Structure 1
Amino acid sequence: MTWDWLRNKYDDESGDVPGWVLIVLMTSALVVAIWGVARERLVAIVEGALSSVCGDLGC
């Protein structure tokens, strides 16, 4: 008796496309929601970090 059918079933690397699409959509929705709520604060954090690294050079 060969076990090729079982090995082929679990060696398939086609992936779970609907699952990955759902993950991408949910992640995008989270990013948009967080950006909508905390935009001003996030911009201030990034600007502060860049100014502390670049100083007067103006990256």
Structure 2
Amino acid sequence: MLHQLLTALGDRIENDDRGDVPGWVLVTIMTAGLVVGLWAVAGPRLAALFTTAMDAVVTQL
């Protein structure tokens, strides 16, 4: 009897594909926040770096 109960419970846990939705939402929001924050800080520097590199390539041609 106990063996059947534990087997049924184990099968139910293994087949539970709902996942941790609030955890994934939090990870997604935090990742988006980090990207926006880094872009705000590094965006102007990256644009200047790209412009300088393109100017160097154009003057070489």
Tell me the TM-score normalised to structure 2 length. 0.63
Q: Larger Cα Rg: Structure 1 or Structure 2?
A: 2
Whose RCO is larger (CA < 8 A, sep 6+)? Answer: 1
Listed as ranges, the gaps of 5+ residues in structure 1 are: none
- Moved runs in structure 1, 4+ residues, more than 2 A? 41-48
Tell me the TM-score normalised to structure 1 length. 0.65
For residues 46-57 of structure 1, the aligned pairs below 5 Å read: 48=53
Please, which of 15, 19, 29 is the counterpart of residue 15 of structure 1? 19
The two structures, once aligned, show a CA RMSD in angstroms of 2.1
Percentage of identical aligned residues? 39
For residues 1-59 of structure 1, the aligned pairs below 5 Å read: 1-2=3-4, 3-45=7-49, 48=53
Equivalent pairs counted in the alignment come to 51
